[in-house]
Amino acid sequence: MAQCLGTLVLVVGASGVGKDTLINGARTALAADPRFAFARRLVTRPADHTLEDHVSIDEAGFLALEKAGRLALSWQAHGLHYGLPLSVNTDLALGKVVIANGSRQTLPQAIKAFPCCVVMVIAAEISLRARRLAARGREDQDQVAGSAGP
């Protein structure tokens, strides 16, 4: 196994489990500690910093970055494109613990790309997830009803 300088912590779980709430709490608690970095995902949807601190990008711009190898990790879910910026690699090379909102579907790719990857799986009771999804208003009624899956 390759020697690691830093550690990538991927926070994963179904929509509505509270990943962003936990990440934002950790960001606040660790703000003064230079050993930690928080990756801001690039997402092909408008930014809403009350729900998730991400960088909004259009699909053409995202695909151009992906094609040019300018993303540390990328994936598709819910009809959107998601990616982690190359700054993740820089922070890891500096020995930092990088915390990022990830995706369960990309774990094999992430673990292969980042040998010192730790996965934090977040779960929440199904009815709580459905209430959270309905409250944020991003998913339609069918998507909220379908959130009962894993």
pLDDT tens by residue, the chain, 150 residues: 456 899 999 999 988 898 989 999 999 999 999 999 999 999 998 776 656 678 999 999 999 999 999 999 999 988 999 999 999 999 999 999 999 999 999 999 999 999 899 999 999 888 888 787 777 665 555 554 554 443
Query: Does residue 42 sit within a domain?
Result: yes
Q: Is residue 61 part of a domain?
A: yes
**Residue 123 resides in a domain:** yes
Burial of 7 (0-12, 13-18, 19+ CB in 10 A): middle
pTM of the model: 0.82
Helices vs strands, H then E, count in the chain: 6, 8
CB count within 10 Å of CB 10 equals 24
- Domain residues for 112? 7-146
Asked whether residue 1 is assigned to any structural domain, the reply reads no
- Say if 76 falls within a structural domain: yes
Number of domains in the chain: 1
Residue 2 domain-assigned (yes or no): no
CATH number, domain containing residue 53: 3.30.63.10
Which helix (H) or strand (E) is 98 found in, with range?
strand 97-101
Question: DSSP label at 45?
Answer: S
